[in-house]
A = this chain, B = another copy of it.
Amino acid sequence: MGRIITLTTDFGLKDYYVGAMKGVILSINPDAILTDITHEIPPHSIFDSAFTLMNFYRYFPLGTIHVVVVDPGVGSKRKPIAVEADGNFFVGPDNGLFTFVYRLSKRYRAYEITDSKYVLSRISNTFHGRDIFAPAAAHLSLGVPVEDLGKKVGKPVTLEIKEPVVRGEEIIGEFIHVDSFGNLVSNIPSNLIKGKSRIHIGRRVVEGVSKSYSDVSKGELLAIIGSAGFLEISMNQGRASDVIDKNKALRVKNEE
């Protein structure tokens, strides 16, 4: 088990919330290596955090503990869980946050966090990040086996993920994320893009998939395989999301 604990939340950075979680972790394991990922997940956006998590956790060393708290159901009956998946660890609410982790892993197992030894003695109704997830993660980082946290969860919650539809040489996809540069990330994986492609976004057409942003002039749209491995629509040194509606349909035609 490693000592690296990453933190991903929708808590923003204006409040004491992240600080309290860090204090709880360091009080239990002063040697934990805290690593902020983001605290600016859009509030309550479970899909966005699942997508974000998918794109960073695989770069961390095995044994890293990833705490993800985007938890609109805090205080209700949704379960707090800890997951081990191919040697990586995850702690957070059982609301679909770990959907891509389950998909990408050969083996995983999830446990409800119920043992009171591993959480704070007083549990608030509004802040399980501090009272349950932070202490559970800290105890994992001290070597507590994940199965000691509580009883096994048979079937953790997953999100329904929309897959692109392939019809011969045509692929129909949609945008699933807009990043802070205004790039629109689609759900079309790179391996579906073949030969010369023509991309239709509503009535707009982008010809071909570029190798780099600077393949087109400043301010021009382009299609590119982004770092998450999906087709993205971008603008060289500009924000594609300023001119393209992310709800627009996306069609790719692969040509010989």
Interface, chain A (partner B; CB < 8 A):
2, 4, 6, 8, 11-20, 22-24, 26-27, 30, 33-44, 51-61, 64, 72-76, 124-127, 130-131, 179-181, 211-214, 224-228, 232, 234, 237
User: Is B30 within 8 A of A2, CB to CB?
Assistant: yes
Q: Are A213 and B181 in contact (CB under 8 A)?
A: no
Assess A37 versus B18: contact at CB under 8 Å? Given A126-B224, A225-B125.
Answer: yes
- Taking a contact as CB atoms closer than 8 A, the residue among B8, B26, B227 that contacts A130 in the complex is B227
Q: Which of B2, B16, B75, B130 contacts A211 (CB 8 A)?
A: B75
Find chain B residues with CB under 8 A from A234 CB: 126
Given A14-B41, A180-B11, verify A26-B35 contact (CB < 8 Å): yes
Question: Judging by beta carbons under 8 Å apart, are A55 and B16 in contact?
Answer: yes
> What number of copies of this chain does the assembly contain?
3
Q: Is the CB of B19 within 8 A of A8?
A: yes
Which of B4, B12, B52, B214 interacts with A75 by CB under 8 Å? B214
- Chain B residues within an 8 Å CB radius of A8: 19
CB contacts (< 8 Å) of A179 on chain B: these are: 12, 14-15, 17
Shortest Cβ distance from A228 into B: residue: B16
Q: Are B126 and A60 closer than 8 Å at their CB atoms?
A: no
Q: In the complex the two chains form, what is the Cα distance from A41 to B35 in whole Å?
A: 20
Chain B proximity of A133: nearest CB distance (Å): 13
Chain B residues lying within 8 Å of A19, measured Cβ to Cβ, are: 6, 8, 35, 37-38, 52, 55-56, 59
